[in-house]
Amino acid sequence: MASEKSLSYVPLSSAINPSFFSKLSQLKLEVLKSEEKFVPIWGYTKLINDLNLPVNLIEVDSTSFNLHFLEHETHIPFYGNVQNVNTIEKFKNCDKQLLVDLEGAKFHEKLMNGDILKNPSLINWFHLLTYADLKKYQLYYWFAFPVLQNIVLRIARTCNITEEFSDNLVNDLYNEFKKLDSNQKPYFAVVKLQNFVQVNSLYETCNDWSFFKERELYFAFINFAPADNVGSNLRLYAACLVHFHPDLGNTEVNFIALNLGRNKDGVTLKSSTVYKLKLPDNASIDWSRWLGWEKNEKKNMGPRFVNLKKSIDPEEIMELSTDLNLKLMKWNMVPNLNLNKIKAAKCLLLGAGTLGCAVARSLLGWGVRHMTFVDYGVVNSSNPVRQSLFTFQDVLDSKPKAQAAADCLKSIHPGVVTKGYQMSIPMPGHLVNGEDIQEAIESVEKLDKLIDTHDVIFLLLDSREGRWLPTVLGARKQKIVINAALGFDSYLIMRHGIHVENATTPQAHNTSSRDLKSISGVNLGCYFCNDVVAPGNSTKDRTLDQQCTVTRPGVSQIAGAYAAELAVSLLVHDKGVAAPAYYSSKNNELDVDETEPSVLGLVPHSIRGFISSFEQFCPATEKFTNCTACSQFVMKNLFLNGTQFLLSIFNDSKQLERISEVPKYCDSIDNEAILDEEFSDWEIK
Amino acid sequence: MSLFNPEDPFEIDLISITERAAVFNVEIKRINAKMDNAIMSYKDFVTYIEAILAISNSTSDYWKLNVVNDNKFLTKKQSVLLENPEDINERLIATFEYHVVYNISYAVPVLCFDVWNQNGSRISLEDYWKYNKHLRDFNMHDTLTQTDHPALNRPIFAFHPCKTHEILKGFARTSKNPIVSWLSVVRHFVHLELLETYIKNC
């Protein structure tokens, strides 16, 4: 017949919301990693299309990855899968035809097992292929809204709904439609009766087909195209109907393309269209051949590309990029690395000099977001070349070092929470009297509070005695304390043990294997224990800090980096501060696997290195019972007399030796000479 | 896995329309008495936006009420076909997300919006004006800037609130819902569709 013509269709159009990319990146980085599997996602379109739009948009956003569609009665869900491939080559070269055919086969399976009949909204489906370049914030993507090839529907008749339904019936249809379950809304059957319409799900219609086929029956669907056009979803719908009811093949069937709009009375269906269409024969439908890849902006068959760098707030980009390099570690290198633990660690850096700057830089790289600096000095002209957080301008401004370091961190990464405190740390042997007493008390209280509110305490000061008070407080508060000290061409990095009330005398444990020994992290010696009782090779171990301002420039960078790495290894160790330190009593090389390592490897007690010979070793030592800083004697006095005790020590450091019963200990051993030498510097003020 | 189940970016707080409808009318009358000068308290602001939400829900419109850090604000997403008047082949589908938020320092409502292309990239203010040359001559042009969203603390486009007083003043005595009246003026600059129902009921 001359009036018979085939329908033309308006394809669906995809729309990505900016939040989609962030969520996809997160999924890729944290869950999928290098996997390329299909992930179910949701899309949605509006039930009532926006006024002047020539197409219906299928939108995806951050909620697209939710387990369940965020149901909103004004939205129609679309079901899809996203596959993010790892390389641009894979994105370009993978067989797109095969991809929709395989996904189409899954759809056919759902048709055969009855899923589609029970939930016709599954007819709204899509596939999304992506390649996300997370470093450049670029996204290549290609949507497919698959339909069967070679489905031809011929129009026998078409008219506006009001020509076949009275106004009352149209209103009735909308009221009945509203009552439908959201899964049934997109596709359902309508029986037209004298004074009302009856709305049934496809499932009900199918179950009682011999009854319904005799009625004045219309198959309704939400038209994903502006009125007077028809969405491409109609073809798949028609094919499904012929599958459910083969007797509809080669016959003329009534359809209602529903277009919802608004008028002054509210929502209306009056711009909907009725079609009488001749359906294809069931046997002629080939369920294995699909098409439906979306055309790009240039109307070509090809993917779309978007650079989102300008769409994301630069501070957010900084945050994402910093995390990116760290999260990549988890893909293959260290899958079980707990980055959140590192990120959440609050670090207190006592000293903002060469070491302070180097440690802060390394921590920044690890994603640490909370750093506090304490330093008494101001930036002077010899600092900027060695201390990586300062510039010439800071010298001109005579900026306090702690403040300058914090400001610089902020300018490197605005997301860092950092503060600088210009204050001195009271030291044994540095007299306090008169007005100074109040200031010293305030300093002690301030430091006490700072140590309380941080998780990791770095001792990066330039004098030996400056480390005493934070060592004592850190042990008492059971914090992770990392100590770094420099010699001219040597360095020492060590972690401290912690104070435990009424602990028994620590003992090193022999392990099953050969000469391997371990000491619990709790019982490790502090800076002051270790320099009194020198381990093994006494020619190599010497007090390092005395020459600290005269050092080879690389030493502070090396030591700072080791201090940060040691802290991070300890943070991610299951036992935290109690992580045992293993050592070989015969100076043999350690097999890391035997040392209860953290996910990052060995967690030594101390690292001693020598640039002159480029040598390094990692001895471990226990607490010294008579230590002038971390022994039970000092802890007991601190507990009983608090600040008064500390003040008396500041004024008379000799007391420390008496309290710690060092003389008694010295009497009991032979090598007094070493001790005398070691303690001589307590008298330097 | 938690990633697959992220919280909705906004907490949605749907108000029961029937219960509130009666209360609104009384509330709004009371507020109007105070509206001689054009400032608006946060409490009044909330009353007005909840009235808008009630109408939106009854007409299947897309306004949503969000609560972030104790700040209530309305949002609505809407896509529009924009054409460059000088070259009709140059056209794009822009998606707007409108935010009606309260500005504490000016004590007025603020209309903020994000606008992006179909591929998710944001449209710059420059490009935005390219498609809206016909709006350039109005004084509103100067007041459209990028600022921080009062509740979300992230950059967003907004009409600077300095001119809002002027507009509100005109409606202060006559309008049942000054926010609707104000939106009916500023909406043209951002292609916001405002159903007649709102104007009729306000």
**Domains recognised in chain B with CATH numbers:** 7-200 (3.30.1460.50)
State the pLDDT at residue A175: 92
How many Å apart are CA A154 and CA A278, to the nearest integer? 5
Per residue in A357-406, pLDDT (tens digit) is 999 999 999 999 999 999 999 999 889 999 999 999 999 999 999 999 99
- Nearest CA distance, B70 vs chain A (angstrom): 22
CA–CA distance, B141 with A285 (Å, rounded to integer): 57
The answer to which of A92-101, A441-450, A507-516, B70-79 has the lowest mean pLDDT is A507-516
Average pLDDT over residues A51-76: 85
pLDDT tens-digit profile of A580-602?
Answer: 988 877 766 777 777 888 889 88
**pLDDT score of A192:** 94
A112, A208: one domain? no
Of A249, A282, A311, the residue that ends a domain is A311
Q: In this complex, which of A20, A30, A54 lies closest to B120 when CB atoms are compared?
A: A20
Alpha carbon of B124: minimum distance to chain A alpha carbons (Å): 9
Q: Are residues A287 and A305 in the same domain?
A: no
Do both A126 and A244 map to the same domain? no
CATH code, domain with A184: 3.40.140.100
d(CA A468, CA A459): 10
Q: Which of A60, A74, A319 to mutate to test the interface with B (most CBs of B within 10 A)?
A: A74
C-alpha dist (Å) from residue B48 to A134, A169, A192, B101: 43, 36, 43, 12
Q: Which of A526, A529, A548, A627 is catalytic?
A: A548
Based on the fold, state whether residues A286 and A299 are members of the same structural domain: no
ipTM computed for the complex: 0.76
Does A315 have pLDDT greater than 70?
yes
pLDDT band at B161 (very low <50, low <70, confident <90, very high): confident
Residue A677 clears pLDDT 70, i.e. is over it: no
* Cα B129–chain centre separation: 19
pLDDT of residue A3: 44
Residues 6+ apart with CB under 8 A from A575: A521, A596
Percent of chain B exceeding pLDDT 70 equals 77
The least confident of A220-234, A248-262, B8-22, B91-105 is B8-22
- Chain A residues with CB under 8 Å of B8 CB are 63, 70
Q: Which residues pair with B93 in a beta bridge?
A: B81
pLDDT tens readout for residues A484-499: 998 888 999 999 999 8
B39 to chain A, closest Cα gap in Å? 32
* Digit-coded pLDDT (tens) for A105-154: 999 999 999 999 999 999 999 999 999 988 888 999 999 999 998 888 99
Same-domain check for residues A267 and A365: no
CA angle A80, A85, A89 (to 5 degrees): 130
Q: Which of A277, A311, A345 is the last residue of a domain?
A: A311
Task: Residue A66: list chain B partners with CB under 8 A.
Answer: 4-6
**Quick one: DSSP state of residue A317?**
H
- Could you tell me where the DSSP H helices lie in B131-200? 140-143, 164-171, 178-186, 196-200
Residues of B marked as catalytic:
162
Alpha carbon of A61 to those of A14, A43, A85, A618: distances in Å? 11, 8, 19, 52
Q: What is the mean pLDDT of residues A143-167?
A: 92
CATH number at residue A103: 3.40.140.70
In CATH, what number is assigned to the domain containing residue A354? Answer: 3.40.50.720
Distance between CA A69 and CA A79 in Å, rounded? 9
The sign of the CA dihedral A167, A173, A176, A179 is negative
What percent of chain B is modeled with pLDDT above 90? 30
Of the partner residues B3, B80, B122, the one whose CB lies closest to the CB of residue A27 = B3
Residues A282 and A371 in one domain: no
Asked if A287 and A330 sit in the same domain, the reply is no
- Please tell me whether residues A643 and A582 are part of one structural domain: yes
Residues A220 and A132 in one domain: no
The pLDDT-based confidence of A514 (bands split at 50, 70, 90) is low
Shared-domain flag, residues A45 and A189: no
Q: Which residue of A has its CA nearest to B4?
A: A66
Domain boundary among A255, A280, A311: A311
Nearest CA in chain A to B197: A264
| Whether residues A21 and A132 fall in one domain | yes
Which of A64-68, A181-185, A404-408 has the largest mean confidence? A404-408
Where are the strands (E) in A115-184, listed by range? Answer: 125-133, 138-148, 154-160
Domain assignment of residue A50, given as a range: 5-148+295-311
Same domain, A119 and A198: no
Mutation target vs B (from A50, A66, A139, A319; most B CBs, 10 A cutoff) = A50
Q: How many domains does chain A have?
A: 3
